Amino acid sequence: DTGVSQDPRHKITKRGQNVTFRCDPISEHNRLYWYRQTLGQGPEFLTYFQNEAQLEKSRLLSDRFSAERPKGSFSTLEIQRTEQGDSAMYLCASSPLWTGSGNTIYFGEGSWLTVV
């Protein structure tokens, strides 16, 4: 257990429905990251926050995806109008603010999404 919690761990939804995933990072970690991983592939970067500010979004994050971190603590990733291609594991990670000393990013166990 790395201390990064994700909920729910598994979600099955019908195509067209909206889903939301929550991530609770390690306490006092300023940075929070979201990744997506499909079967047989490495994790793909989606977006990251520094406190409540969303600093970068990948082109993979289409208009149907939105991520928030309203108080700089937990974060949510919402997918609207889900498609079968959204089926994947969604990973959250957190780290202290970059200090130049090689801080470590810790990952949660992921949230599995199946769109049927």
Partner 1 sequence: DAKTTQPPSMDCAEGRAANLPCNHSTISGNEYVYWYRQIHSQGPQYIIHGLKNNETNEMASLIITEDRKSSTLILPHATLRDTAVYYCIVRFDKIIFGKGTRLHILP
Is residue 45 a contact point for partner 1 (CB under 8 A)?
A: yes
Minimum separation from the CB atom of position 16 to partner 1 (A): 27
Contact indicator for 87, 39 with CB cutoff of 8 Å: no
| Binding residues among 50-109 for partner 1 as defined by CB under 8 A | 56, 89, 91, 93, 98, 100, 102, 104-109
Q: What residues contact residue 66 under an 8 Å CB cut-off, 6+ apart?
A: 77, 78, 80
Q: What are phi and psi of 90, to 5 degrees?
A: -105, 120
Positions touching partner 1 (CB under 8 A) are 2, 4, 33, 35, 42-45, 48, 56, 89, 91, 93, 98, 100, 102, 104-110
